[in-house]
Amino acid sequence: MKWYTRDSSFAARIVMNKTPASTILSPEEIKRTTDAFFAESEKSVERSLDSFIALQSMVRGQRSKSDWETIARLVLQPHALSQLARRSALSNRAFSKPRGYAGDAVMIDLIYDQTLTDPSNARLSELENWQYQTLACRAVRTRRMVTAAAIDGLTANTPRIMSFACGHLREAELSRRVAEHDFSEFIAADQDPESLSYVERVFGKYGVSTRCATVGQAIREPATFGTFDLIYATGLYDYLSQDTASSLTGAFCSMLRPGGKVIVVNFAPTLSDAGWMEGVMDWWLIYRSPEEMHQLVSHQDPDLFDVETMVDGPGALVYLTVTKNRE
């Protein structure tokens, strides 16, 4: 790893927002700069974290993947400011990974509900409120609304729907169609028994059924799932390799009825919070551009499927929609 060292005044200039974005700081300078941000947190948590997230974004954008990972794990994650940030329920759960990975259903619920750990603790509440307004968290809440709208926007009579890697299926709370049981079947599929238990308890009364299923099963045995008017996966593809994501998308396409849709969502490389997620929360995702999302269906028959990609306004998420033409 090649480091470029500067004199210690660079840390002060970063704090004053005067360091050119092209300046490459050494690990020691990154630590001193973060020390200054930590001292600032005594006066304003929000201002301190705004500066910290900007620093991480700058450093991440300048380094190779391996260099950035070393800095994130050895310099940023152990720092007192990161430890302060991980007092929040959201960052703490991502870092501790009680279900073996960051981004589990409970974590997503925290983002949806903007849960405060201790409302009587003003400093902690300031920290958590700040984090819930980061771009990634706002995008996750918008994704939920977009998904609910897609469910309600189906034109098929009594459609058959599947949410794959459903988590707690919280978008169903926003869906008129689910509330009115306006579908022939709604399958919530996931490999996590705890998530499926939650779905059964909360949404079973609306007619939603659950299925324990893995990505491998969907790829190998798509016919066992049947055919659908809508299949969606909104929090899964961020963890899948390109080959696996392509194979899964192909399996989903094979399950579509004429006029049916597959909708998958992936965080975009332009997400400005990526450095924060990796450098504080130890939450590492696979980011995809619209072109990379389109490649997931490049092997599908273009006469049979219409493909559309869309980036949300802030550049946080890429939506891929594949529609099967009516026969």
Q: What is the pLDDT of residues 99-149, one digit of tens each?
A: 999 999 999 999 999 999 999 999 999 999 999 999 999 999 999 999 999
Q: If DSSP codes are grouped into helix, strand and coil, which group holds residue 257?
A: strand
Number of domains in the chain: 2
Which residues in the chain come in under a pLDDT of 50?
1-12, 16
Residues 148, 70 share a domain: no
pLDDT at 20 (0 to 100): 63
Half-sphere exposure for 71 (CA within 13 Å, toward CB): 28
Longest Cα–Cα distance of the chain, Å, equals 68
pLDDT at 5 (0 to 100): 36
Predicted TM-score (pTM) of this structure: 0.92
pLDDT at 17 (0 to 100): 58
pLDDT at 189 (0 to 100): 98
Question: What is the spatial distance between Cα 227 and Cα 205, in angstroms, rounded to a whole number?
Answer: 23
- Provide the strand spans (E) within 115-175: 160-164
Rounded to a whole number of angstroms, the CA Rg of the chain reads 22
pLDDT at 153 (0 to 100): 96
Q: Is residue 91, in this structure, part of any structural domain at all? A: no
Q: Is residue 95, in this structure, part of any structural domain at all? A: no
Q: Is residue 132, in this structure, part of any structural domain at all? A: no
Question: What is the spatial distance between Cα 195 and Cα 199, in angstroms, rounded to a whole number?
Answer: 6
pLDDT at 252 (0 to 100): 98
Residues 307, 180 share a domain: yes
Which single residue is written with the structure tokens 């597959």?
A: 262
Q: Which domain holds residue 52?
A: 1-85
Residues 214, 316 share a domain: yes
Half-sphere exposure for 205 (CA within 13 Å, toward CB): 5
Question: What is the spatial distance between Cα 68 and Cα 61, in angstroms, rounded to a whole number?
Answer: 9
Task: Name the token pair of 51.
Answer: 């500066």
pLDDT at 282 (0 to 100): 98
